[in-house]
Amino acid sequence: MFYYFIRKLLFLLEPEKAHFLTLKYLNIKNIQFFDFFFIKLSYYQKKLNVWV
């Protein structure tokens, strides 16, 4: 489920690389990833005015 959520977000940014980038980010096991992810998520929600 988490994979599809991240892939959906990344698809908005890089449609051709969404799957690869999702796998890359899921391999990161530290808290900085989650901070980065949620900051980016809130940024793109405001930018696109949508909820992913």
Q: Tens-of-pLDDT digits for all 52 residues of the chain? A: 566 777 677 677 666 676 677 667 766 554 455 666 666 766 666 666 555 4
Q: What pLDDT is attached to residue 32?
A: 59
Which domain range does residue 26 map to? 2-48
Nearest to 25 by CA among 15, 35, 16, 43: 35
The number of folded domains in the chain is 1
Q: What pLDDT is attached to residue 39?
A: 65
| Dihedral of the alpha carbons of 3, 25, 18, 49, in degrees to the nearest 10 | 80
Distance CA 30, CA 19 (A): 20
